[in-house]
């Protein structure tokens, strides 16, 4: 089993879709939201995802293809 801590940022057109619920239905993954802010202008959630490493990769690929931006929970850790 593996565990990934990530931040999902949703574009406005995806805010009404139950993406996090769906990732748990489509893939053998357990999601646990730790912090989120969903408004008309911005929508993000930090969450922990548990599952087999390959399953996590498949799930992340699926949400990315849906148009969700996936970042580490730290946001951009790359620095000048």
Partner 1 sequence: MSFANALRCRECGREYPLSPNHVCEFCFGPLEVVYDYEAMAKKVSRKSIAQGPLSVWRYADFLPCEGEPVDLQAGFTPLIPAKNLGGLLGLKHLYLKNDCVNPTWSFKDRVVTVAATKAREFGFTTLACASTGNLANAVSAHAARAGLEAFVFVPSDLEAGKLLGSKIYGANLVAVDGSYDDVNRLCAELGDRYKWAFVNINIRPYYSEGSKTLGYEVAEQLGWRAPDHCVVPLASGSLYGKIWKGLQELTKLGLIDAVKTRMSGCQAAGCSPIVTAWENHTFNFRPVRPKTIAKSLAIGNPADGYYTLKIMAESNGAGAAVTDDEVVEGIRLLAETEGIFAETAGGVTVSGLRHLVQAGHVDPDEVVVAFITGAGFKTQEAVENALPAAIHVQPTIASFEQALAARQGESAPVTGAASS
Contact residues toward partner 1 (CB under 8 A) are 5, 9, 34-35, 37, 39, 41-42, 46, 69-80
Query: Is 31 or 46 the residue whose CB approaches partner 1 more closely?
Result: 46
Q: What is the DSSP letter of 67?
A: T
Considering the complex, what minimum distance in angstroms separates the CB of residue 21 from partner 1? 20
Residue 75 falls in which region: left (phi positive, over 0), alpha (psi -120 to 50) or beta: left
β-bridge partners, 10: 43
Considering the complex, what minimum distance in angstroms separates the CB of residue 75 from partner 1? 4
Q: What is the DSSP letter of 27?
A: S
Considering the complex, what minimum distance in angstroms separates the CB of residue 8 from partner 1? 11
């Amino acid at each position: 089993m593996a565990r990934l801590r990530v931040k999902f940022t949703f574009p406005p057109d995806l805010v009404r879709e139950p993406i996090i619920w769906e990732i748990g239905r489509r893939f053998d993954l357990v999601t646990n939201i730790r912090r989120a802010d969903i408004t008309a202008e911005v929508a993000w959630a930090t969450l922990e995802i548990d599952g087999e490493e390959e399953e996590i990769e498949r799930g992340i690929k699926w949400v990315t293809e849906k148009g969700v931006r996936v970042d580490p929970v730290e946001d951009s850790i790359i620095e000048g």
